Amino acid sequence: MAVLPDEMDLDAGEAHAWRALSARAQARGAMVAPEDLRQLPYVMKLTERARAAVMGAG
Protein backbone atom coordinates (compact mmCIF):
# COMPACT_ATOMS: atom_id res chain seq x y z
CA MET A 1 0.00 0.00 0.00
CA ALA A 2 1.19 3.54 -0.71
CA VAL A 3 -0.12 6.83 0.51
CA LEU A 4 0.02 9.39 -2.26
CA PRO A 5 1.84 12.67 -1.65
CA ASP A 6 0.17 16.05 -1.33
CA GLU A 7 -0.92 17.74 -4.57
CA MET A 8 2.01 20.15 -4.40
CA ASP A 9 4.34 17.16 -4.84
CA LEU A 10 2.65 15.91 -8.01
CA ASP A 11 4.53 15.90 -11.29
CA ALA A 12 3.54 18.80 -13.54
CA GLY A 13 0.44 17.87 -15.52
CA GLU A 14 0.03 14.49 -13.80
CA ALA A 15 -2.93 13.31 -11.78
CA HIS A 16 -0.62 11.05 -9.72
CA ALA A 17 2.97 11.31 -8.51
CA TRP A 18 4.38 8.53 -10.68
CA ARG A 19 8.00 9.68 -10.27
CA ALA A 20 7.68 9.73 -6.47
CA LEU A 21 6.12 6.26 -6.44
CA SER A 22 8.82 4.98 -8.80
CA ALA A 23 11.53 6.37 -6.50
CA ARG A 24 9.93 4.66 -3.49
CA ALA A 25 9.85 1.34 -5.36
CA GLN A 26 13.46 1.74 -6.52
CA ALA A 27 14.59 2.49 -2.95
CA ARG A 28 13.24 -0.95 -2.08
CA GLY A 29 15.00 -2.68 -4.97
CA ALA A 30 12.18 -2.75 -7.55
CA MET A 31 13.45 -1.19 -10.75
CA VAL A 32 10.32 0.34 -12.25
CA ALA A 33 9.92 3.48 -14.34
CA PRO A 34 7.16 6.05 -13.82
CA GLU A 35 5.90 5.21 -17.32
CA ASP A 36 5.47 1.57 -16.30
CA LEU A 37 3.54 2.50 -13.16
CA ARG A 38 1.24 4.75 -15.17
CA GLN A 39 0.06 1.67 -17.12
CA LEU A 40 -0.89 -0.40 -14.06
CA PRO A 41 -4.46 -0.61 -12.75
CA TYR A 42 -5.01 0.46 -9.16
CA VAL A 43 -7.75 0.53 -6.53
CA MET A 44 -8.47 3.30 -4.05
CA LYS A 45 -9.69 2.08 -0.67
CA LEU A 46 -11.46 4.63 1.50
CA THR A 47 -12.35 4.35 5.15
CA GLU A 48 -16.02 4.67 6.07
CA ARG A 49 -15.34 8.19 7.33
CA ALA A 50 -13.66 9.24 4.09
CA ARG A 51 -16.40 7.62 2.02
CA ALA A 52 -19.05 9.52 3.99
CA ALA A 53 -17.18 12.79 3.45
CA VAL A 54 -16.90 12.17 -0.29
CA MET A 55 -20.59 11.29 -0.51
CA GLY A 56 -21.54 14.47 1.34
CA ALA A 57 -22.68 12.85 4.58
CA GLY A 58 -19.65 14.05 6.54
| Global model pTM greater than 0.75 | no
Domain ranges in the chain are 7-54
pLDDT at 33: 95
Residue 9 CB partners (closer than 8 Å, separation 6+) = 17, 20
> Can you list the residues of the chain whose pLDDT is less than 50?
none
pLDDT at 36: 94
> What CA–CA distance (Å, rounded) separates 15 from 22?
15
